[in-house]
Amino acid sequence: MTQTLLDDQLIGTTAATAPGLLRLLARNRAALVAAAVIAAFLLMAAVAPMLASHDPNQQRSESIRVPPVWQAGGSPRFPLGTDALGRDLLSRIVYGARVSITLGVIVVLLTMIVGTGLGLLAGYFGGWFDAFVSRIVDVLLAFPFLIFALAIMAATGPSLTALVLALAFKGWVDFYRVVRGDVLAARGAAYVTAARGLGASTAHIIFREILPNVVPPIIVVATLRMATIIIAEASLSFLGIGVPPSIPAWGTMVSDGRADIATAWWIATLPGLAILLLVLSVNLFGEGLRDALDPRMSL
């Protein structure tokens, strides 16, 4: 309780500034550790070619299903072992980070722009536009996301463009709802009335007055959406309709290992650990951000 009070006071004063945010985050050890893990994954994705000791797609018929180095029969040449085609798992996991992170960032940015834009307009102008977009949102909310993504991917065949569209299809709704709600509330706020009274243009009011105030919740939604998107992409890739098979992706790797779970447990389980670690860190960091930026949304 005192914690919340303290946070509330800090929000009013310092959290709006970047150093204030950092100070709040710095008190949250879990979020800091999560940030470090995320940074490590980002670095791993960036320097994947230097870090991976092998070409992730190189097949070796002479060394298939080599166990990880700590197991009997393991080899230091393949620290995490190899899969059924003799591909080095560690190199594939390192490269897989590129796919998950790149797709996650692209999809989140895309949905953020669409959702925030529509939310600003619908919240500020209301009327038929708001009614129209809100009906679309109702329809989209009634969609089981995965089955729709499946249908798109099945229809177009595995391609990265289709995957981005399938993942983005419904994701903007979260941004839209948060932004629209906040804009509705801001519309009658004193600072907006004042700006209008001073003769500010509508565009100025929306983008220079209101938008900066809805940035904190947008950042929080973006972070938490990132976690969802990474899992969704991995799930589609697992079902064989996500990332094209020539690109090493974590979901595909888990699926590759399914046939061998009785004899070579590492092929399916180790790439999944990477997903879990990254998603867990993104969630932890996102919740830390939320507590720091927007305590109203905290659970």
Partner 1 sequence: MWSRFISRRVLQLIPVLLGVSFIVFLTMHLTPGDPVEHMLGQAGRVSQQQVDELRSYYGLDRSFAVQYWVFLSHAASGDFGISYSHQGRPVASIIRERSPATIELTLFAFLLALVLAIPAGVIASLRPQGAFDRIATVSALIGISLPGFWLGIVLMILFGLRLHWLPISGRIALGMAPETITGLAAVDALLTGNAPAFWSALRHLTLPGLVLAAPMAAMVMRMLRSSMIGVLEQDYVQFARAKGLPETMVVGKHALRNALIPTINIVALQTGLLLSGNMIIETVFRYPGLGKLAVDAIGAADYPLVQAVVLIYAGSYVLLNLGADILHAVLDPTVRPT
Dihedral (Cα; 128, 129, 131, 134), 10-degree rounding: 170
Q: How far is the CB of 26 from partner 1 (least distance, A)?
A: 19
- Of the two residues 20 and 295, which places its CB atom closer to partner 1 in the complex? 295
DSSP letter at 64? Answer: -
Residue count (the chain):
299
- Of the two residues 192 and 254, which places its CB atom closer to partner 1 in the complex? 254
Bridge partner list, 88: 82
Q: How far is the CB of 133 from partner 1 (least distance, A)?
A: 13
- Of the two residues 110 and 152, which places its CB atom closer to partner 1 in the complex? 152
- Of the two residues 83 and 287, which places its CB atom closer to partner 1 in the complex? 287
Q: How far is the CB of 60 from partner 1 (least distance, A)?
A: 24
Reference 164, options 102, 223, 209, 95; nearest CA is 102
Distance, in Å, from the CA atom of 98 to the CA atom of 63, rounded to the nearest integer, reads: 26
Name the residue type at position 168.
Answer: A
Q: How far is the CB of 7 from partner 1 (least distance, A)?
A: 15
User: Which positions touch partner 1 (CB under 8 A)?
Assistant: 1, 135-136, 138-139, 142-148, 150-152, 154-157, 227, 231, 234-235, 238-239, 241, 251, 254-255, 257-258, 261-262, 265, 268-269, 272, 275-276, 279-280, 283-284, 287, 298-299
> Encoding tokens for residue 8?
């509330």
Q: How far is the CB of 227 from partner 1 (least distance, A)?
A: 7
222, 171 Cβ separation under 8 angstroms: no
